Chains A and B, each alone.
Chain A
């Protein structure tokens, strides 16, 4: 059984919906203190009211793409407020299907800012020795099975997630000596707000166990954040019920 204490603080980005919300709720239910970050305050308040231990769920309203280079300082300011972090689940992200013919540079920038650059700079802040607990600290970034095998129209999205997987592996090698573990989790399409009409059409009949729910991915994320996964680092874990094999 995985359990945490309220002295263990975890950052969860994208906490207002989908995988981030499921992760924040699960961590909180298992006893951890959660710093829930998202843009929408009303959704974060909803999250708090749905949580099992609302006293251990702290809300931070923030647009992570506003000043990406300033994110390490932002993480440091959170550390000053809450103390050293045990882990971070980077779940913020956007999807979007667009054929190559329709792609403009601005589309790529929008997607890469939140899916790639922001998690890199949040991780840069997290791995600072002064911001995390050292031995046992864990970072999980949400990538996508689309980085391994994808459908048409995913140039920007799959590219951003593939880049994230590669970079996180390199970072994991840099911090392993400090006892920090870094992994990616790559789900296929999950039943969240991000799953649009075209994505659902692609998914039709593809999943032997049906379309995944946010909790199916959150369980994996929380496991990797926990001490039960103390021997796991530098990898990308595909959560797809065997669909992309």
Chain B
């Protein structure tokens, strides 16, 4: 999966009306709450085979940080 595709997927996971951008601060998103973090955890597990913890997601700040949590499974 490339970054552009992932940003569309993330928009859907978070049910956002506005597109997600790599430099966005997740804490600026009103949708970025504990439930959407759990949805991201499920998505990462299913699509990348990557298990992230709630703690991991609490430490990320930007969408870019979120991408880096896949350990290189999202290409440019």
Identify the A interface with B (CB < 8 A): 128-130, 174, 177
Chain B nearest CB from A72 CB (Å) reads 10
Dominant SS at the A interface?
loop
**How many of chain B's residues touch chain A, expressed as a range?**
under 10
| B35, A174: Cβ atoms closer than 8 Å | yes
Number of A-B contacts (CB under 8 A): 10
| B15, A130: Cβ atoms closer than 8 Å | yes
Q: Which of B1-34 contact A (CB under 8 A)?
A: 15-17, 31, 33
Chain B nearest CB from A65 CB (Å) reads 24
| B33, A177: Cβ atoms closer than 8 Å | yes
| B17, A130: Cβ atoms closer than 8 Å | yes
| A129, B17: Cβ atoms closer than 8 Å | yes
CA distance A174 to B31 in the complex (A): 12
Which residues of B are found within 8 Å of A177, using beta-carbon distances?
A: 33
CA distance A174 to B15 in the complex (A): 14
CA distance A177 to B15 in the complex (A): 14
Which residues of A are found within 8 Å of B16, using beta-carbon distances?
A: 129-130
CA distance A216 to B15 in the complex (A): 36
CA distance A210 to B56 in the complex (A): 59
Chain A nearest CB from B54 CB (Å) reads 16
CA distance A128 to B31 in the complex (A): 11
